[in-house]
Amino acid sequence: MDAPRRIPIHSSLNRRHLLLGGERTLVMMTGLIVAVLAFSANFKPSALAVSALFWVATHALLVKLAKVDPDMSVVYQRHLKYRASYDARGCVHAQLLPEKQLKL
């Protein structure tokens, strides 16, 4: 018999697009905040030092988060959206509250 057809899936097609190792939107927002900090203080050395320190610390955190999960901010936003729907329970077999029980 003939072998099944194989199609290569390139890793660039299913990998998240990161900017400088972090999530794109978060890195761009951090850069915007740093630029606003630097411009608003008329490029004083103290403001430049604070903005550089903020950039280094925040960017290191964003890179670390992107290594764990490249969609961390999207997952967190979804978590906030559905937080009211899912109560915290100890296990899968936990008892539902009477007002939340399913009617089959």
pLDDT in tens, the chain (104 residues): 688 888 888 877 777 888 999 999 999 999 999 999 999 988 899 989 999 999 999 999 999 999 998 888 888 898 888 777 766 656 666 566 555 555 55
Judge whether 51 lies within some domain. yes
**Domains contained in the chain, number:** 1
| DSSP secondary structure string for all residues of 41-100 | TTT-HHHHHHHHHHHHHHHHHHHHHHHH-TTHHHHHHHHHHHTTTS---SSTTPPPPGGG
Domain limits at 75? 17-84
d(CA 77, CA 28): 18
Judge whether 12 lies within some domain. no
pTM metric for this prediction: 0.67
Judge whether 7 lies within some domain. no
Cα 16 to the chain's mean position, in Å?
Answer: 11
Judge whether 3 lies within some domain. no
d(CA 101, CA 48): 56
Judge whether 4 lies within some domain. no
